Structure 1
Amino acid sequence: MRIVSQNSDTDLARRHAGQNVELALQELTANLLRVIRGAGEPREIGLQALAFVEATETYQDVVRRPLFVSEVKRMLSIEQDEQAMRRKKSADRIEFHGMQAIICGALQIAASRILCQPRQEASGRREIEDGLRLLEDARAESRQETAAAGKAALPRRTASLSPPVGFLKPRRANKQE
């Protein structure tokens, strides 16, 4: 019995070449970010850059075109899936967008400092401030949701003008004879 794949050898080679480029680019980028923040492996940068260039050349040979800008953006995207975001509570979505703004602002500041661009650094600061405001909004909304859930869970008491049966009735003395 022979199993026929729906993917041709060319399709598989293209997919493999694309995955190699993605992995090399992500490893290089992540290490650069870690080195900037004081961690990472500076001695690996050259090897990772070379691996990315070689993977890109192989990709271009197999696919017969350069990488599209949209492909590079997707490979380096740190955003979450839009459908997954829709399933989250409102406060969680606001918190995510706040964190995203803070991360983007911090990356802007880092890039601006490397290139000595104070105006762009100011833009990064504003982005961080916007993100912090969103985090504060998310926390406030989360507190409101928690309070509303707590009130909904409490048993309802109806107002009554008369005391419950047996309440404050005088006790009868036990007569021992």
Structure 2
Amino acid sequence: MSDDGQRRPHIRLAAENDRKSVDKARAKYEIEWPLRKLAANIMRVSRGAGEPYSVIQQCIDVVKGAQSFCDKCGDWPDDIEVREALDFHDPRLRDYTLPNDERSSAIEDIVEGALRLAAGRLLRQDLQERHGEKDLLEGVRRLEHYHAELRAKWDAERKAARAKPAPRSKKLIRKPKL
């Protein structure tokens, strides 16, 4: 400390998150991961793979996570938090500063259509099943169109490369010795 009576500056650490938001983030993780594991396993089991013996325990884990969320936050997870936990979309497709990736977008449509078709089939909902099939086939059509354009571009580049005459090398002509 200095002798002139001045005090040293007090250093403070300002936290951006208060305790409640930290608890909510932790609680959100405790529900998010079990929910994702359950959803993924159910999808796999419904197609003939996955771990059917784990489904009930995973359901219990989801309920425990939801109860923990409620204990820490004072309320159950809302529909936005559940939707975000189960969102499989590629976040790059939602970044509008990036160029549109038609191939990835078409694949997303195929996956969405397949999930809608499967859910409709599980619940015997013909309308949902038909809409899912329509969405899936539209995504396939867009993907095929993308590939056809790509093939046409490659063919044009290949034809253009063939049409150009090969560059001649300049050979020096030597004078004959006499």
Q: Measured at CA, do residues 62 and 154 of structure 1 come closer, stay the same or move farther in structure 2, by a change above 3 Å?
A: farther
- Let me know the Cα RMSD of the aligned residues: 3.1
- 1:109 matched to which residue of 2? 117
Name 2:129's counterpart in structure 1.
Answer: 121
Deviations, residues 64-105 of structure 1 (Å, cap 9, x unaligned) = 22222122111111111222x7535x5xx2211211121111
- Give yes or no for the alignment of 1:142 onto 2:150: yes
C-alpha distance 56-119 of structure 1, shift in aligned 2 (>3 A)? same
Tell me the equivalent position of 1:160: none
Contact map agreement 1:94 1:137 (CA 8 A) in 2? no
Seq. identity, %? 28
Look up the match of 1:98.
106
For residue 46 of structure 1, what is the aligned residue in structure 2? 56
Distance 2:157 2:61 in 1: 53
- Residue segments in structure 1 that go unaligned for 5+ positions in a row: 158-164, 167-173
Gaps of 5+ in 2: 1-10
Normalization by structure 1: what TM-score?
0.74
Please list the CA deviations of residues 125-169 of structure 1 after superposition, one character each: whole Å capped at 9, or x if unmatched. 111110111101211232344456667878966xxxxxxx99xxx
Instruction: For residue 116 of structure 1, give the secondary structure of its aligned residue in structure 2.
Output: coil
CA-CA distance at 1:118 after TM superposition = 2.0
CA distance in 2, matches of 1:111, 1:50: 22
Aligned residue among 141, 161, 168 for 1:133: 141
Matched residue type, 1:65: D
Give the Cα–Cα distance (whole angstroms) in 1 for the partners of residues 30 and 77 of structure 2: 12
